[in-house]
Amino acid sequence: MGAGVVKSGGSGGRRTRRRRHAPAMSEINVTPFVDVMLVLLIIFMVAAPMMTVGVPVELPETAATALPQEEEEPLSITLTADGRVLLMTNEAEESDLIAKLQAIAAERTSRKVFLRADGSVPYSRVAQLMGALNAGGFRDIGLVTEQGGPRFDGSGN
């Protein structure tokens, strides 16, 4: 009873391998694309709040709901706590404010004006500016406030 070694094939003991080439991959690898899109999304989510144009003003809080967004950015007038009047982000003299507004409004489709006034500005000053805007032909005036103020209906804040 003996054990023997059995050789297979006639290649002299060497194994031959056939190299099979994998077929060309016909699918797009979307992983790098998704990674880039996620990075861009995060960048825009962080940068978007910083891109809002405006002057820092302590707006009063009210229970009013937000106005619907428009295609065109509305004109914005700001009354600061130190008494300055700003048209958009540029300081304007009170004497030529209406003339500047009318020149800008002539090139726009909407005559809507948003009035932002610091909470410490007296109501009489805000009313005077609104009267001047009304006399200048601007009838669509929106007062900008922060949400979260009292509701005065007994339901709390």
| pLDDT in the model for residue 6 | 59
Report pLDDT for 34.
Answer: 93
Distance, C-alpha 3 to centroid of its chain: 83
- Which position has the token pair 């008494």? 83
* Token pair of 110 as six digits: 């909407």
pLDDT for 36? 94
Structural domains of the chain in order of their starting residue, each with its CATH number: 61-147 (3.30.420.270)
**What pLDDT score does 57 carry?**
72
CB 86 within 8 A of CB 78: yes
What number of other Cβ atoms are within 10 A of residue 152's Cβ? 8
In tens digits, what is the pLDDT along the chain, a chain of 157 residues? 556 555 555 555 556 666 777 777 788 888 889 999 999 999 988 887 776 656 677 777 777 777 666 667 778 889 998 888 988 888 888 888 888 888 888 888 878 888 989 888 898 998 998 898 888 888 888 888 887 777 777 665 5
Position 108 scores a pLDDT of: 81
> Is-above-0.95 flag for pTM?
no
Question: DSSP 3-state assignment of 55?
Answer: coil
In sign, the C-alpha dihedral spanning 44, 47, 53, 58 is positive
Cβ pair 85, 126 in contact under 8 A: no
| 145 close to 60: Cβ distance less than 8 angstroms | yes
Torsions phi, psi for 118 (to 5 deg): -60, 145
Task: Provide the pLDDT for residue 41.
Answer: 93
